[in-house]
Amino acid sequence: MTMGERLLRVPEVARRLNMYGPDVYELIRTGELDAGKGRDGLVYVPEKALREYERRRLHGTTLREGSRSSPSGGRRAETREELLRVPEVARRLGMHGPDVYELIRTRELDAGKGRDGLVYVPEEALRDFQRRRSEASSSS
């Protein structure tokens, strides 16, 4: 973090992303959102990092290309299916992280753990779930 750039606290970032604070900390922990501790020991997110994350999210990439390994251990390839973390799935479905974990637990939404121990949902599985949910709501 450089001098003069606007720094945001996690509650403000959570508000802007419409998610809970623990979900923001998960984005930070997994490297999807840059952050650092200030002199006061609190966690701050540079506003520029938040804008970059929002841009990636808008374009469907939640992890920085080439900056970390995929859950399978290999480098990310631009052509492979996108894997989404639970906070991103929750945002796309308009629900909270624990609700997504419940969908996974009840096998309504396919997911798996990567070698890094984190839960990933294939984008295709999310599309299938959304299609099934849409068909169910239109038939009732």
Is 81-140 in the same CATH topology as 1-62? yes
pLDDT at 111 over 80: yes
Q: pLDDT per residue over 18-38, tens digit each?
A: 888 888 998 998 888 999 999
CATH of region 1-62, choose from 3.30.360, 2.60.40, 1.10.260, 1.10.1660: 1.10.1660
Domain ranges of the chain: 1-62, 81-140
Q: CA-CA distance, 82 to 122, in Å (whole number)?
A: 6
Sign of CA dihedral 92, 95, 97, 103: negative
pLDDT at 107 over 70: yes
CATH, range 81-140: 1.10.1660
Q: What is the DSSP letter of 41?
A: S
pLDDT at 8 over 80: yes
